[in-house]
Amino acid sequence: MTEQVKEMRVTKALEAALPGAITGGKYELNELTLGIDAARIHAVCEFLRRKDRFIRLAAITAVDWYPMEPRFEVVYHLHSMPRPGITQDERLRLKCKVGGDRPEVESVWSVWPCADWYEREIFDLFGIGFRNHPNLSRILMPEDWQGHPLRKDYPVHGYKYSYKSE
Amino acid sequence: MSDYTAALANMPAGDASNRRRSMTLNMGPQHPSTHGVLRVLLELDGETILKAVADIGYLHTGIEKQCEARTWSQVVPLTDRVDYLANLSNNLAYCLAAEKLLQMEIPARAQWMRVMLTELTRISSHIVWLGTHALDIGAMSMFMYCFREREQILKLFELFSGQRMMTSYFRIGGLALEPPRGWQKQIKKFLEDMPVALDQYENLLTGNPIWNIRTKGVGYMSLEDLMDWGATGPMIRAAGLAWDIRKDAPYSSYEKFQFNVPTATESDVFARYAVRIAEMRESVKIMKQALDGMPEGPWVADVPRVTLPEREKMKTQMEALIYHFKIVTEGFEVPAGEVFVSVEAPRGELGYYAVSDGTTKPYRIHMRTPSFGNLMTLQPMLEGRLIADSIAALGSMDFVLGDTDR
């Protein structure tokens, strides 16, 4: 974590409220990214939503860094838009690393209801589980699909020549 | 797609009489008012919707996976196919993300042209929405009027890019082609016709008693709920918050244009209709400013490593030929890093999260598409409402299934 990141308002507020939750951070191309301890992501999101100003979750996604271990990064895009009382448009990216045979992270569904589909999409395409998610099932791929297509060890054209039913 | 089984499992438990009263109805995936292939599972008690579950994924084409197997410049045509009604907004968001990673300066003429054409896209997308939405509710003639103007817009797209729908007109570094000779005349004619057409639409609908009864007070959701469930764009503005990315975080020189952000407070189907109509008028205003003040100069950045050389130079200069060969065969390297760039697409916030590992292919592209967020509001919006209102409420979300499923 650079000095510049340490001096930012969000970093200070988060460090004061939840010491040790931030594992790293960078400020590049005018975008702030904070690494978060995967075990505490729910508490961090809860704080940023209720006590700080990030009322909106723009998206959740994941990146697969196969064959690195831990291989997955779950990425949260938070947003605070100008509204009565707040003049600045602020965005924040949270990242937590998960890996192992059964990668899993706490669901933030109870913080932002719209995390519901984003987390299902990650579960479907990356195979990352979300604890306490109300309905963790495939959303884009067919129910009986084998594998998780957006993993880097999944071939672009799939495992079969044709997926038509014979 | 296991929503169906989940919905069955989640049917209200308890006494047998309760179970007999509710009925599960399958709406879609080929229902004409679902604008694509959306399947909604409705659990009904008579006319009242107890539970609505959206089942998406029928149009999933794995575009994000395909992006990882192509070079940075080859991704542009894929972005057209994400939201096929707002192709240029998608081109713009992707190009802005790539350009931010490359830290490129885009010439003023290209930026203004981008603003003008994305506003044209906004009008085109809103027109399709208006026509089909009115058709769903029963105002059939609206569809014909709207598609009359849409045809004009598609001809303009063809004039600029040679393609009616999958334009791919914005490229990393600027535009794909020089704007055609005489485009000013054509745009001017369109800008004269469009306000008249908008008045016609409003004459047909705004005061129409049937339209008012079918849309006012229908599909209400509070601003907090909309925000929590991920809605963006006109849906938020119709609930009273003037949040527009073009104003709050201007991109592509939007800060040089004068326009208002139309809002409404009722947050019902009619308010969303009113906001979108007002937005089209604002778009016409922006296009007029772009037409009058269009700067002269190059339409593509002068970065030989990234942008394709002119045809003439390729015939006479060896360096140009080499650059062309390298860009087309192996692409160009993009510095390692990550960006999240969002633009105000017709449907709401369209964000591209691009991760580069320093090679010629994107490591990961994630599209935060507005339809995906807007469609999540379906469940809270429909529950407890009448089944007849569900069509109007669905239409007012303005989703495109290609955009949802990617």
Is there a domain that residue A162 lies in? no
Spatial separation of the C-alpha atoms in residues A59 and A114, rounded to whole Å: 9
Distance from CA of A121 to the nearest CA of B (A): 10
Domain membership flag for residue A43: yes
CA pair distance A60, A66, nearest whole angstrom: 19
Chain A nearest-CA residue for B376: A114
Say if A23 is an interface residue toward chain B (CB within 8 Å): no
Is A138 in Cβ contact with B248 (below 8 Å)?
Answer: no
Closest chain A C-alpha to B17 CA, distance in angstroms: 27
pLDDT tens, position by position, B191-245 = 999 999 999 999 988 888 989 988 888 888 899 899 999 899 999 999 988 899 9
Instruction: Tell which residue, B52, B59, B34, B11, has the closest CA to residue A142.
Output: B59
Interface test with B, best of A64, A78, A114 (most B CBs within 10 A): A114
Beta-carbon contacts of A36 under 8 Å, excluding residues fewer than 6 positions away, are A21, A22, A23, A44, A94, A95, A96
Q: Scanning every residue of chain A, which has its alpha carbon at the shortest distance from the alpha carbon of B368?
A: A59
Whether A67 is in a domain gets the answer yes
Contact status, residue B226 vs residue B236, Cβ threshold 8 Å: yes
Q: Residue B174: left if φ>0, alpha if ψ -120 to 50, beta else—which one?
A: left
Q: Is the pLDDT of residue B19 over 90?
A: no
Residue A152 within any structural domain of the chain: no
- At B79-103, the pLDDT tens digits run 988 888 889 999 999 999 999 999 9
Q: Do B62 and A149 touch (CB under 8 A)?
A: yes
Could you report the per-residue pLDDT of B393-405, keeping only the tens digit for each?
Answer: 888 888 888 888 8
Question: Contact A140/B103, CB-based, under 8 Å?
Answer: no
| Mean pLDDT taken over chain B | 88
Query: Of the candidates B3, B243, B376, which has its C-beta nearest A81's C-beta?
Result: B243
Closest CA of chain A from B281, distance in Å? 24
Q: What is the average per-residue pLDDT within B310-322? A: 89
Q: According to the model, what pLDDT value does residue B1 have? A: 45
CA distance A87 to chain B (A): 9
Long-range pairs, B198-207, Cβ under 8 A, ≥24 = B198/B277, B198/B280, B198/B281, B198/B284, B200/B145, B201/B130, B201/B142, B201/B145, B201/B146, B201/B277, B202/B277, B204/B139, B204/B141, B204/B142, B204/B145, B205/B134, B205/B139, B205/B142, B205/B273, B206/B274, B206/B277
Q: How many domains does chain A have?
A: 1
Structural domain includes residue A69:
yes
Mean pLDDT for B337-361 is 92
Q: Is A23 contained in some domain?
A: yes
Q: Which residue of B has its CA nearest to A89?
A: B248
Weakly modelled stretches of chain A, pLDDT under 70: 161-166
How far apart are the CA of B98 and the nearest CA of chain A, in angstroms? 12
pLDDT the model gives residue B48: 87
Give the model confidence (pLDDT) of B159-190 as tens digits.
999 888 888 899 998 898 888 988 999 999 99
Residue A149 lies in a domain: no
Which residues of B lie inside 8 Å of A (Cβ-Cβ)? 1-3, 5-6, 56-57, 60, 62, 64-66, 68-69, 100-101, 103, 227-230, 241, 243, 248-249, 337-340, 342, 349, 351, 353, 355, 363-364, 366, 368, 372-373, 376, 405-406
Residues from chain B that touch A91, judged by Cβ atoms under 8 A, are 340
CA distance B366 to chain A (A): 7
Domains, chain B, ordered by start: 3-55 (no CATH), 63-368 (1.10.645.10)
The end-to-end CA distance of chain A, in Å, is 55
A89 in contact with B at a CB cutoff of 8 Å?
A: yes
Distance CA B342, CA A100 (A): 33
The residue-averaged pLDDT of B287-302 equals: 90
Q: Which A positions 34-73 lie with beta carbon below 8 A of chain B?
A: 55-59, 61, 63-64
CATH number for the domain that contains residue A95: 3.30.460.80
Domain of A104 in residue numbering reads as: 3-131
Contact A150 B65 (CB under 8 A): yes
Best of A28, A57, A75, A81 to substitute, by most chain B Cβ atoms within 10 angstroms, is A81
More confident residue, B27 or B316: B316
B18 has a pLDDT exceeding 60: no
Give residue B339's identity as a one-letter amino acid code: V
Residue A156 lies in a domain: no
Q: How far does A17 lie from chain B, in Å, by closest CA?
A: 24
Q: Is A75 on the interface with B (CB under 8 A)?
A: yes
Contact between B133 and B396 (Cβ < 8 Å): yes
pLDDT confidence bin for B45, thresholds 50/70/90: confident
Contact between B94 and B74 (Cβ < 8 Å) = no
**pLDDT, tens digit (0-9, with 9 covering 90-100), for B104-163:** 989 999 999 999 999 999 999 999 999 988 988 888 888 899 999 999 999 999 999 988
Residues of chain A contacting B366 with CB distance shorter than 8 Å:
59, 61, 75
